[in-house]
Amino acid sequence: MIDVLVVDDDFMVARIHRGFVERVAGFRVVGTASTGEQAVAAVDELRPDLILLDLYLPDMFGLDVVTRIRAARHDCDVLVISAAREAEAVRRSVRYGAVNYLLKPFGFDELRTRLEQYATRRATLRAAVVADQADVDRVLSRSGSVAATAPALPRGLSSETAELVERALRGHDGTLSASECADRVGISRVSARRYLEHFSGTGQVEVALKYGAAGRPERRYAWVA
């Protein structure tokens, strides 16, 4: 069982995140905190394995909490959950050892995916010795580390829209057509098709053909990465 501390200054948000975590097998929430000082005290008392850490706390910046708990020689992991979209915030989180960085607002499936990735990585690292370089590569891959780099986008595609398309696919149980994806994201069908085909080319999306009574088959997409 992986013990989790939820740190967020918004009581209702913390409650929602707590509910998300407790729906994931193998995880349990051992406490919540709404300030940096409370977080430091809770880590000292509860010794969680993982902290879901908001960056914008009323008394200190979230990464200062990491500095404090490392100085106290606590080795719990940190998964940053924040509305901060500045690249510098992401870079700093990586330098401070965050295992992942999840942008608010997010749904249950998005958090579940990252928690399951973390659990897999943690289980791998609990082995006394890694079997080979492939084990090391898996631990440091995109599935287990926020620091890895995603495939570059082609000219004319933006990272912001790509993220929205990814979220639409991740948040849907099943497949989406380009038109359905476009409606969810708020872009044209042609634009949605370009992003979907890019993700298909990188292996992050699986394409299935749906045949109708007449005409060309419809291409439908599902996130598999």
> Tens digit of pLDDT for each residue in 143-161?
444 444 455 677 888 888 8
pLDDT at residue 194, as a whole number: 92
Tokens of 6: 């939820």
Distance in Å from the first CA to the final CA of the chain: 25
Mean pLDDT, the chain, integer: 85
Query: What is the domain partition of the chain in residue ranges?
Result: 2-139, 159-223
Q: Say which CATH architecture domain 2-139 belongs to.
A: 3-Layer(aba) Sandwich (3.40)
CATH 1.10.10.10 fits 159-223, yes or no: yes
Tokens of 74: 């606590």
Residue 46 near residue 72 (C-beta atoms within 8 A): no
| CB within 8 Å of 216: residues ≥ 6 apart | none
* Residue bearing the bigger pLDDT, 178 or 121: 178
Cα–Cα dist 108/225, whole Å: 17
* Residue bearing the bigger pLDDT, 6 or 95: 6
Dihedral (CA of 10, 11, 16, 22) sign: positive
State the alpha helices, DSSP H only, in the chain: 11-22, 36-46, 62-71, 87-95, 108-125, 133-139, 159-170, 178-185, 189-201
Cα–Cα dist 211/50, whole Å: 46
Q: Which of the four pLDDT bands, split at 50, 70 and 90, describes residue 216?
A: confident
| CB within 8 Å of 158: residues ≥ 6 apart | none
Q: Which of the four pLDDT bands, split at 50, 70 and 90, describes residue 127?
A: low
Angle (nearest 5°) at CA 7 between 23 and 15: 45
| Residue type for position 65 | V
How big is the chain by its Cα radius of gyration, in Å? 19
Residue 141 has pLDDT above 60, yes or no: no
pLDDT at residue 153, as a whole number: 74
Residue 135 has pLDDT above 80, yes or no: no
pLDDT at residue 145, as a whole number: 47
> Tens digit of pLDDT for each residue in 43-85?
999 999 999 999 999 999 999 999 999 999 998 999 999 888 7
Cα–Cα dist 7/35, whole Å: 7
Residue 66 near residue 82 (C-beta atoms within 8 A): no
pLDDT at residue 151, as a whole number: 57
pLDDT at residue 138, as a whole number: 59
Cα–Cα dist 194/197, whole Å: 5
| CB within 8 Å of 138: residues ≥ 6 apart | 124, 144
Q: What is the mean pLDDT of residues 85-105?
A: 85
Strand order in the sheet with 205-210: 176-177, 218-223, 205-210
pLDDT at residue 200, as a whole number: 86
> Tens digit of pLDDT for each residue in 8-51?
999 999 999 999 999 999 999 999 999 999 999 999 999 999 99
Dihedral (CA of 1, 31, 56, 37) sign: negative
